[in-house]
């Protein structure tokens, strides 16, 4: 695990220490890691929502055949194999 030093004003340091105490965190590092994970999750959800809205705005949906789904599965499997060697 990599170490990162962050400069904070006293008010933020005090706030973090308070959150560690009342939030059941073992350390300020654990609290910060949790905040970062929450931020990552929020951004992923926002991205997914954007993609969903783009899909809804892209026009009328077309019916999918069994062949379409088979081709999609094959494409996904090939992409996964390329990524994982």
- State if pTM tops 0.85: no
**Contact status, residue 36 vs residue 42, Cβ threshold 8 Å:** no
What pLDDT score was predicted for residue 61?
86
Domain range list for the chain? 8-58
pLDDT bin (cut points 50, 70, 90) of residue 85 is confident
pLDDT tens figures, 39-81: 999 999 999 999 999 999 999 988 999 999 999 999 999 999 9
Tell me how far CA of residue 12 lies from CA of 4, 18, 74, in angstroms.
17, 10, 50
Instruction: Look at the chain and count its residues.
Output: 85
**Contact status, residue 35 vs residue 16, Cβ threshold 8 Å:** no
- Residue 32's nearest CA partner among 4, 9, 66 is 4
Ordered alpha helix ranges (H), the chain: 10-23, 28-57, 66-84
């Amino acid at each position: 695990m990599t170490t990162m030093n962050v400069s904070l004003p006293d008010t933020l340091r005090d706030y973090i220490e308070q959150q560690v105490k009342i939030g059941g965190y073992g350390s300020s590092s654990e609290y910060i890691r949790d905040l970062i994970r929450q931020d990552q999750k929020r951004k992923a959800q926002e991205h997914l929502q954007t993609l969903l809205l783009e899909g809804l705005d892209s026009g009328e949906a077309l019916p999918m055949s069994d062949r379409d789904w088979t081709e999609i599965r094959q494409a996904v499997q090939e992409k996964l194999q390329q990524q994982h060697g």
